[in-house]
Structure 1
Amino acid sequence: MTTTSGCPVHVGSTDLVDPHLYSDGDARAEWRRLRGLDGLSWLQVDDDRGFWSVVKFDDTDFVLRNTALFTSERGTMLSLLGMDDPAGGQQLAATDPPRHTVMQKRLKKALAVNSVDRQRDMIRGLVLDLLLPLGDGGAFDFAQAMFAMPMSVTGTMMGLPQSDWAWLSRLTTICIAADDPEYQDAGSKSATLSMAHHELFAYFQDLVRHRRDNLGDDLLSVLISTRFEGRHMTPPEIVSNCYSLLLGANVTTPHAPNYVMAEFAETDVLRDWAADVSATPTAVEEALRWASPVNHILRYATRDVVIRDTPVKAGDAVVVWLGSANRDEDEFPDSESFDIRRKPNKHLAFGIGPHYCIGHSVARVTLKILFEELLTRFEDFAPAGKPEKLISNFVSGYKHVPITARAKARAS
């Protein structure tokens, strides 16, 4: 265990690694307790592994911005704690600047808001296809429709065959929720993860070989044709970043609307929003803050550093809890209230610093279109069963949100 000199070490009393804390427990209460401490808390996972928990907004901002002090190249998820990430230095999420900056340049341009704005009609059509069954009066699993939404959008932008979307969506969900029995196709967590990773990487390897001779204007072609350090990306680098793009889209986009429907379907929050759809831009930001879909990000200290009066040694694992930072009372007044007009709202749902989510513009445009169509076309939202949360310590979200609604009469 890491020790400090002259400074008390707060030892965590709740297992923040346990995925059931986020599906059946009260992680928000534990984060609130940790925010009240006078320093960081240390969680010893086993004899060899442990990590510091960062739960305050300013501290999270400090860790994520300072890539020279806190590296991403040893892994970014708790599932890799104590191991070296094989994607380090190859995948954007697991590569530090300046290499990261050069690698992401063309992809960042392709996903910039001006480029995404040109895709609005495509995105709107895909969203409407998913929402159409909601108006038939029967129970509708809103969460499962939302799981399909980012795959539809990103699959189209990457030029992936539509026949593969549902399968790819399930595989990427398995990769971040292998503890959930509903997604354990291979019988155990480790076997399930191994199967999902093997199938995804084999799929993209085959696709890259084919697309090299059939380049277009899709995101996969952008990756294949990107040059940096005087060369093109290698096939393993391309495949790893294809995986990262899909994972990022499927992690972030579904869960903000799922939280809204699971927790506010029959409340004044949704009625107020439906009565003032012009509030959608700020309401979407509040939904992202509230959901904080990416639950944690792992970093390792590259040298001795002090965070919140706590000495952290070089090599120590540091985990930032985005859901806690986004409820920090010092940054967000009345942080436990959902305010569709909250301003300012500098949440960290997409991270911050060099690793700020590269697909944030796609997610924001998609979510704005989704809520515009949802709230102008449907009304009388009501639960049709108990929502179920995903069993995962990496993603905060719902996997089933059964609702009913009624299609609004359209002016002729």
Structure 2
Amino acid sequence: MTIVREVKPSDDAKPSNVVSYYTPEQPIPAGTFIPPEDNPNQQPPGLFKPIQIGNMTIQNRVGVSPMCIFSADSQFEATPFHLVHYGSIAVRGPGIVIVESTAVSPEGGLSPHDLGLWNDNQAEKLRPIVDFIHSQSQKCAIQLCHAGRKASGQPLFLHLEQLADESVGGWPESVVGPSPIEFRPNGNLVRPRELTTSEIKRIVQDFGKAAKRAVDIGFDAVEIHGAHGYLINQFCSELSNQRTDEYGGSFENRIRFALEVIDEVKKSINNESIPIFLSVCASDNSLDKKGWVVEDTMKLVDHVIGHGVQLLDISSGGNCYNSISRSRLNDDHTLPPHVEIARKVKRHVGNKAVVACVGKLERDPVFTNKCIEDGDFDLALIGTPFLKNPGTVWNIADQLGVRWMRYRFSLS
């Protein structure tokens, strides 16, 4: 008796068509919640529900916050290190990876080892990173920045607030700001030269050109850095802006630079499918009456949403050397540093914008998940834990009892 076995084609691991080398196609992004077969109606916890940002959808509410790693070469270009760094995180399931602060102008870097995006060569060195992330069916954004008076510093792993002079590739003679006010009186950073109106217009255009380069090489979103005491933040706050022209004085004048940057980025991108993010310094965390406060932020966010910003990345501090810890300013000292302020912003803007929160959110995933489910904010941006463990999303899933996430890897 002959037994005839029906022969069927074997399953095939299809290659991704995004990159030239072999990597398996990922039809479902890692980090996607899939209900178990025995409970197909099971709902994911808030942190693992998809969210739409403009026309872009991401599979969960855990994002990688932009983190400066001060590892670019002397031309401010990305190296294979950056591909390994971002690629190792992206394959393990965050909803979006935001690439670190990237200078839009030659004088705008935080350090001589920042990434830059003011020329096409710098853009092309970033392309392999974007392509790899897309080959894993994941999303990525880039944070565009001008450091203003805090430019030309040493990488923070060498020194905190130490000037990088010409001997190490710095540019102290080219450091600029809204006003000639140094970050720390008698400190190690230089007193900036006050920007002229024409120079301000040029930097606005630099933001737009960098945004276009970012989109041209495939980034899914662009974040404008308006926090941490860098140039946009410097213009907004009276602590660093004492101009008497159309960019200083009144609240409307001080936010003018920020709005012009947003408008230029939007015009340069010219693509409604690419959302614009803005990192916001919600407060200078200063006791000085001239400092930027939460009430200023509430007015600012109304303006920026009207100009096309779709995600608000809430942070604080960094614009004055003697700022107070955010936790000391919170009404509830048990909260992570920015939860209370993100909650206020979210209640103010409602569904007009996505609100992201930062600051030690990984320490208590159950609490962070409750914040998401209660509508306190929409997206948890986590930074340094991903440096310690690229699989931080997996750890959060485990602590929330999520066992049916889609992973690329399995244990043998």
TM-score range, shorter chain: under 0.3
User: Quick one: higher RCO (CA 8 Å, sep 6+), 1 or 2?
Assistant: 1
More helix by share: 1
TM-score using structure 2 length: 0.27
TM-score using structure 1 length: 0.27
